[in-house]
Amino acid sequence: MKPLEGLLVLEFAQFMAAPTAGLRLADLGARVIKIERPVKGEAGRQIAIRNIFVDGSSLVFHTINRNKESYAADLKNPADLEHIKKLIAKADIITHNFRPGVMEKIGLGYESVRTINPRIVYGVVTGYGSKGPWALRPGQDLLIQSLSGLAYLSDTHNSGPVSFGLATADMICGAHFVQGLLAALLKRAKTNNSVLVEVSLLESVLDLQFEVITTHLNDGGKLPQRSQVKGNGHPYLSAPYGIYKTSDGYLSLAMGDLHQIGDALGVDLRAYADKSSWFDHRDEIMRTIAQQLSAQTTGHWLAKLETKGIWCAEVLTYEQALQHEGYLAQGMKQEVTLPDGSLLSTTRCPIRINGERLYSDKAAPRPGADTDLINQQFELA
């Protein structure tokens, strides 16, 4: 049995952060039922990457909503709402990511739901929390990156703000949401009472930056000191930390003894005997290393560095990484079966339980695909 088998989760959520949490709960064994609008389903079905759609919904929707069921309900319809309340009475967890006040207006806010089910774990994802001047602003990933300071951590000093090429806020918030929901289940087991769990995209991205924000707060309020050198890997770490061009690709150097690295590369770095100077002179040290690395292949330098135990790696593209034996050994790829019988390749849950990887071949459902079955099983209609 998977750890969460027997748990019933109702997901009143769309787009990415809360549904990502639902995906993780489903992978761990919970039964996750998406409550969606009839016919069209949740809005995230139409948010596409590269305009790729599969089985009528966006490919990104499929990546986040596999292994779930779909129940179609118009929450403004009294009969449908009554069915939903009967489901809530039997659920363990409900989640939503509507703006503050929306669920309350429907009659499904926390106080109302806990009267229906006194043991419910009620989870809420917002963009910026329920109070404050930003509370009603759109909680979108790029906007959160922009408002949280995250955009000033990458690239060089002169590059201006740079966003991540991932839905960073959604992903980390979804992970925090799962942590809160699981902790709430433990609390409920002790108290037999309902628990309210709240996370926000902004708080999650601020927490993601706890190292550098703490540094900022204790560094005289200075801005993150991004290097002038292309490829620097961290605004607060000393040389040689970063990515360097070789004659045929790129190589990354992590933290390590600068003099040991210089010896391995054949570079004289004795002028920087004092370790404290490795940050102050970061740019010139990186330029010296970069010039040397550019003269030979990545394989040449890896052979020299790895034999001395220096932390380094080749920088791979997706094409290279997903064909590498290091990736293949993880068994991360899985295939889900679409309603028409065709297969869709995606990734598996990254968690292992008792040494077992968690796979599931169940694809994301079509809107309302499981309504009739759920009505029958829970005697709703």
The rounded distance, in Å, linking the Cα atoms of 186 and 5 is 15
Q: For the residues 213-239, what does the mean pLDDT come to?
A: 81
- For residue 369, what pLDDT is reported? 97
Model confidence over 31-72: pLDDT tens digits?
999 999 999 999 999 998 889 999 999 999 999 999 999 999
Share of the chain above pLDDT 90, in %: 82
The rounded distance, in Å, linking the Cα atoms of 97 and 122 is 11
The rounded distance, in Å, linking the Cα atoms of 57 and 36 is 13
Domain ranges of the chain: 8-207+330-377, 242-321
Please report which helix (H) or strand (E) contains residue 142, including its range.
Answer: helix 141-148
**Which residues 6+ apart lie within 8 Å of 350 measured at CB?**
332
Q: For the residues 73-99, what does the mean pLDDT come to?
A: 97
- For residue 173, what pLDDT is reported? 98
- For residue 223, what pLDDT is reported? 66
- Does residue 295 surpass a pLDDT of 70? yes
Q: For the residues 14-25, what does the mean pLDDT come to?
A: 97
> What is the SS3 string spanning 278-342?
HHHCHHHHHHHHHHHHCCCCHHHHHHHHHCCCCCEEECCCHHHHCCCHHHHCCCCEEEEECCCCC
- Does residue 330 surpass a pLDDT of 80? yes
What confidence category does residue 220 fall into, taking pLDDT thresholds of 50, 70 and 90?
confident
Share of the chain above pLDDT 70, in %: 99
- For residue 275, what pLDDT is reported? 85
- For residue 254, what pLDDT is reported? 93
Q: Does domain 242-321 have CATH number 3.30.1540.10?
A: yes
Q: How far is CA 331 from CA 227, 327, 361, in A?
A: 37, 7, 14
Q: Considering the domain 8-207+330-377 in this protein, what is its CATH number?
A: 3.40.50.10540
- For residue 273, what pLDDT is reported? 85
- For residue 156, what pLDDT is reported? 82
- Range with the lowest mean pLDDT among 75-79, 269-273, 310-314? 269-273
Model confidence over 97-139: pLDDT tens digits?
999 999 999 999 999 999 999 999 999 999 999 999 999 999 9
Model confidence over 129-172: pLDDT tens digits?
999 999 999 999 999 999 999 998 888 888 888 898 899 999 99
What confidence category does residue 381 fall into, taking pLDDT thresholds of 50, 70 and 90?
confident
Query: Helix 141-148 to helix 168-191 angle, to the nearest 10 degrees?
Result: 90
Q: For the residues 7-25, what does the mean pLDDT come to?
A: 97
- For residue 113, what pLDDT is reported? 98
Residue 122: strand pairing partners: 94, 196
Q: Mean pLDDT score of the chain, rounded to an integer? A: 94
Model confidence over 331-359: pLDDT tens digits?
999 999 999 999 999 999 999 999 999 99
